[in-house]
Structure 1
């Protein structure tokens, strides 16, 4: 007896139909997904192109221009600066703002647009219509800024914790012998400019400075007595902190408000507080140096160690500040302040500071500094002058 199995032809045909339908649906779904991915992926912008007067071309990205100098970055040659007389044509896909010489920058005065350069002039086109809305001859160009930088530095409003630069310094000296001693110094010097780029005129400037110098020297009594006499301990503690906000009316003239606090154990000064407002002026400013002068009217409170009485004063601060970048990026800074009291002409003080910051490795620098404080009315039994020479290591924030 034999058994026969018969396959249903209709059933096999149904399987092939099912596989065909599944393949068709999968193909359509994959094609639709690929189309969505292709539509969502942003198109890579075309590179900017410089055509030189000799016919050579260079592709890359235009970063900015100052006067007749164009800064161009290419993967082949890196960042280069090209003067306008060597450029025949320049085409960019990015959006820029052109500022003319002497033009006042406001937050609503410009709209970024695409640019082309030809015949010693820059043409800016409106984004929506691509029509030329402004033509600026190179001889009249002050700065060419990309749209992102313009939005951040001109139309934006940075938060209180943004765009700070400066450095943090510290130093220590230890003595372990018959005498034991420790000296610690720490400093914080911060500055914030708005805008933060040097090719735009400054609108506001904020500065914060803190200096602390603490020392302790322990000296045993020699020869020792019976019963033993306790060791003598000498301490020094000098602290200074100040903060200032400057608002520029012109590229050189600015108004200011500021405060400062001083504690100087060497002069018997528990705390000196100053709160004032005034004006300042930038005498000259170049890429390597700057010199400022300023004056204020302020309220001053001096609190001394007993039995010296505290004083309340109305006075002024007359200050000069200078800094210069020396060869090898060595930074020299110097400042002097004279502080007379108007309600008591016999009381006045002065502060002089100077320092060198020498780069050593990446953001680390070695710093040398001196500070001389003079006070005409120190506490009873204390000297009127306090001098410090400070060395340490500085870490630059930017």
Structure 2
């Protein structure tokens, strides 16, 4: 049965209204060549604008080719100066866009060239990562020795700052096989806390503190509190490398000296983390503290570690800690080298 002319006219009119309605209630992008694209603006980053169109599907265009645009819903726009806009967008003069006015905010126009991102993904919540490893060395027979060690490292990295915590501990004893007398041959621990605040993507200010004890070296305590500036040269999944320069207050007290010693020193250092192969990592850091009173009087500590993955979370490691103190306790040497073999787990 044929429809009457009036019914056909009403049908065409309804289709026209629906098409017009869809165009009005959709995001609109006007290009510099005069073309238009309707759809939903999904995101923008690195100079590219992504639009989901019902006709063309997902389309990626250059922001440099956009003359102006509008949206039917509020979107989040990040500008180069750090400004974040969360409003509907209206057409504006060429190479610009405007935000919809409200009772408290007037309509304002901005340059399209200043857009850094649109609807960026939510930033991941900073979480702690690190490792815990422990070691046990034991000998029997003509010599009976036993040494235990423990190492903990944890880092929390956000976009603007980084917190680092670490601790190493070892204690060993030797038993005389004839008399049964036990003697401590190793008893030391050290801890460090550090805070970095990034003033740019690579440059940061830092403050840190170290505390050390070593019974065999007659070191009752060594306390270092310092701060300065650092530069993150590389920060990728494979390689991380940074250098630091600053100042520090160093306090040492020895068991066989009546009074402790305090001095102000320069603080220089670096940290390197490098993935050598899929299952092998190398970690190395160094801190150097020359006294301001005499540059030849200095304290230096450096750690080198090879870490081999055994499972996705477990690893075996070999760590060497080298310390040099130009002014040790009387009767003790300046150099201490510690070797640690352990088994650990990452988190």
TM-score bucket (shorter structure): 0.5 to 0.7
1:173 is aligned, of 132, 137, 150, to: 137
Change (3 A) 1:284 1:263: same
How far off its partner does 1:192 sit? 0.8
Partner of 1:192: 156
Task: Classify the secondary structure of the residue corresponding to 2:278.
Answer: helix
Matched, 1:322 2:272: yes
Note the C-alpha offset of 1:207: 0.6
The equivalent of 1:334 in structure 2 is 284
Q: Select the residue among 175, 183, 186 that pairs with 1:218.
A: 175
Q: Structure 1, residues 31-51: CA drift from partner, whole Å, max 9, x if none?
A: xxxxxxxxxxxxxxxxxxxxx
Q: Greater strand share, 1 or 2?
A: 2
Q: Cα gap change, 1:230/1:363 in structure 2, threshold over 3 Å: closer, same or farther? A: closer
Match of 1:294 in 2: 244
Max Rg structure:
1
Alpha-carbon displacement from aligned partner over 1:248-282 (angstroms, at most 9, x marks no partner) = 11111111111100112342211100112211112
Say if 1:266 and 1:386, in contact at 8 Å, map to a contact too. Answer: no
Determine helix, strand or coil for the equivalent of 2:120: strand
CA gap of 1:338–1:134, structure 2 versus 1, over 3 A, is same
Contact 2:207/2:227 (<8 A) preserved: yes
Identify the match of residue 219 of structure 2 among 260, 269, 284.
269
- Gap change, CA 1:68 and 1:274, over 3 Å in 2: same
Q: How far, CA to CA, are the matches of 2:45 and 2:191 in structure 1?
A: 38
- Consecutive unaligned residues in structure 1, runs of 5 or more: 1-61, 71-81, 86-93, 116-122, 154-161, 196-202, 222-228
* Residues 291 and 321 in structure 1, CA contact (< 8 A), matched pair in contact too: yes
Kindly indicate whether residue 94 of structure 2 is the aligned counterpart of residue 110 of structure 1: no
Query: How many Å apart are 1:288 and its aligned residue?
Result: 2.0
* Structure-1-length-normalised TM-score: 0.60
Q: 1 or 2, which has the higher helix percentage?
A: 1
Question: Which residue of structure 2 lines up, in the alignment, with residue 233 of structure 1?
Answer: 183
Matched residues in 1 for 2:151 and 2:157: separation? 20
Compared CA separation, residues 333 and 104, structure 1 to 2 (3 A): farther
CA contact (8 A) 1:280 1:292 kept: yes
Q: Which residue of the other structure, out of 292, 310, 315, is the alignment partner of 1:360? A: 310
Q: TM-score by structure 2 length?
A: 0.67
